[in-house]
Homo-oligomer: A and B are copies of this chain.
Amino acid sequence: MKGKLTVFKIGGKVLEKPALLNPFLKNFSSWPGAKILVHGGGAKASQLAKQLGIEPQMVNGRRITDAAMLEVALMVYGGYYNKSIVAQLQHLGVNALGLSGADANTILAERRPVGEFNFGFVGDVRKVNRQRLHWFLESELVPVFCALTHDGQGQLLNTNADTIASELAAAMSKIYDTQLMFCFEKKGVLRNADDENSVIHHLNRAGYEALYKQNLVTDGMLPKLDNAFKALQNGVNQVRITNVNHLTQGTLITLE
């Protein structure tokens, strides 16, 4: 029988608010079974970029990463947030290990080819080193991933944290019964973005396509939902999009 693994993703808006982050980390620390945490940090990255006179640019909810913005991403994702979360989890008794995809070569990516848009130093995941992650997890280490990967040629790349969470969950599902949790500040996928009580409790692919056609999927939700379905197609047992402090509620995503 496979062991259980839960991959959690928390976004930039959660990281910025101790009132959201601290209770989440406490719940995370007592969550049973093997677990991995993936975090973003875009809000603070934009803020630091602004302080340094770099203007952040977005396309379809994704950041364009030029050389200056990559440096900011290294500092904010790989440094500030990653180390802060690891230290807090250690205090909560979780033996956290902060990782970028370059560390122990855990996530190899390739720079996205220039098509309609040039996203800059953005990486699409090529390979998750599932054996190395399994080895960490078996030793009761808890990997904490930031939104950075590498190309194996010395270049670090920015990869969307939702995508990293989805790719990790899919890869690890060969070894573990894997659940993927996108945790954020809202209650779940909302039918009406302005109404916190319009949570869709169950969403399948047909339902998603219907929402999409009605223009009811917000920019920020697009990568989460795309990644949710991709993960399910690639062997992940269950995906949930939920409030960071109500982990067992929110929107359950299934293929059918």
Contact = CB atoms under 8 A, between A and B. Distances in A.
A19 interface: no
A82 B79 contact: yes
Secondary structure call for the A interface? helix
Given A152-B90, A153-B91, A102 B83 contact: yes
A75 interface: yes
Interface residues of A, number: 39
A156 interface: yes
Given A79-B75, A79-B77, A139-B135, A95 B105 contact: yes
B153 A83 contact: no
B79 A80 contact: yes
Contacts of A71: 80
Given A78-B82, A96-B103, A87 B156 contact: yes
B52 A83 contact: no
Interface of A: 48, 51-52, 71, 74-80, 82-84, 86-88, 90-91, 95-100, 102-105, 135, 139, 141, 148, 150, 152-156
